Amino acid sequence: MGAAKFWGVSFVVATAVLVLTRGLIANEYFFFAGYVVLQYIVLSTAWNILGGYTGYTNFGVGAFFAVGAYTSVVLHKLTSLPVPAMILVGGLTSAILGLGMGYLTLRLKGVFFAIATLALAIVAQTLIVNWDYVGGSRGIYVIRPQQAPLYGSYVQYLYSLMLILAWGSVAIARTIERSRLGLGLNAIRDDEAAAEAGGVPTLRLKLISTTVSGALMGMSGAPLPYYVTYLDPASSFNLSYAVNSVAMPLIGGMSSWIGPVIGAVLLGTIQQLATVTISSALNLLIVGLLLIAFVIIAPNGIVGLVQARRRARLR
């Protein structure tokens, strides 16, 4: 399927999901939990553009996510912009952060790059903790508007926005994957020296990858202040965002756009179910156990398992 057709078909699917869920489901908790699952589709898809396609592990997901969220806080205090505009500005801010991080750290490889991204999250969190305007370490309350635009509750509105974001990020990831850019990113992941010798402008492509990945992460964080209504550095920079964003593509499969979607839906849903039926503290334990299981049983994720079976059948 060509890129234009995929954008069209996926748009129809996303619209159908939106209309059906908002039309048929009355339970408000569905939208509350659905928002989180969709947010993880965006985050893990964004992570996979740099981690899965390009081979650079980013543990600084929390920084990009929180920068998007705090951009909305600043805009909320300064302007009366609607949330979709805040999402765009949040994405732009995180894109600039991604470009800067890429420029400073992409000469590092492997574990050194991963540690540098973790350090970025710590630096960004320290800056926010010491910035009183956005609440500093004590956090800040964000009052949602009384009425949601169009119809339904505000959580339903945020759910709808996150669904659009999830559609957009998946379509972008799939377009990259099947393009010349995607092939170049995969070449960098497989062997950077060989890619450069093959004419691939590795530094430029890596910068595109960090920028696009950062932008999508920031966009997914931008509606957060309106979703939680109270934002503080400890929760917005939480390491669980990074752990989940790494775990979901690993479980779903990193070689394809569908992998992070499968991982996010599977893990995100299990986490939400565990939160209401067992305990919210079990979330990361579930992630850890699943991660260990998949690393042993299916190191290339669910998509990798399917591809290996298909290859074996062809032989």
Partner 1 sequence: MPLLQVGGLGKRFGGFVALQGIDLSVDAGERLGLIGPNGSGKSTLVNCLCGALHHDSGNVTFDGRAIDGLPAYQRTRLGLARSFQLPKPFRSMNLIDNLRIPLLYTVNARHGARLSDAAIGERCLGLLDDVGLADRAARLPRDLTQVEMRKLELARAVASAPRLLFADETMAGLSPSEVEEILAVLVRLNDQGITIVLIEHIMSAVMSFSTRLVVLVAGQKIADGVPQDAIRNPEVERAYLGE
Q: What are the residues binding partner 1 (CB under 8 A)?
A: 180, 183-184, 186-187, 189-191, 193-203, 255
Listed residue (114, 92, 112, 116) closest to 47, CA to CA: 114
- Nearer to partner 1 by Cβ, of 156 and 209: the residue is 209
- Nearer to partner 1 by Cβ, of 144 and 178: the residue is 178
Shortest separation between residue 88's beta carbon and partner 1, angstroms: 32
- Nearer to partner 1 by Cβ, of 202 and 271: the residue is 202
Shortest separation between residue 193's beta carbon and partner 1, angstroms: 6
Q: How far apart are CA 61 and CA 4, in angstroms?
A: 29
Shortest separation between residue 77's beta carbon and partner 1, angstroms: 45
Query: Which token pair is 144?
Result: 């949602």
Q: Which residues pair with 232 in a beta bridge?
A: none
Q: Is-contact 242 62, C-beta < 8 A? A: yes
- Nearer to partner 1 by Cβ, of 115 and 203: the residue is 203
CA 39 from chain centre, in angstroms, equals 7
Shortest separation between residue 199's beta carbon and partner 1, angstroms: 3
- Nearer to partner 1 by Cβ, of 10 and 202: the residue is 202
Instruction: State the Cα angle at 131 between 128 and 137, rounded to 5°.
Output: 65
- Nearer to partner 1 by Cβ, of 84 and 201: the residue is 201
- Nearer to partner 1 by Cβ, of 36 and 207: the residue is 207
Q: Which residues pair with 230 in a beta bridge?
A: 141
Q: How far apart are CA 53 and CA 208, in angstroms?
A: 12
Query: Which token pair is 215?
Result: 């932008």
**N- to C-terminal Cα distance for the chain?**
25
Shortest separation between residue 280's beta carbon and partner 1, angstroms: 37
Q: How far apart are CA 25 and CA 131, in angstroms?
A: 41
Give the relative orientation of helices 61-78 and 202-221 as an angle to the nearest 10 degrees: 50
Shortest separation between residue 307's beta carbon and partner 1, angstroms: 10
Instruction: Give the number of other Cβ atoms within 10 Å of residue 138's Cβ.
Output: 9
Shortest separation between residue 4's beta carbon and partner 1, angstroms: 15
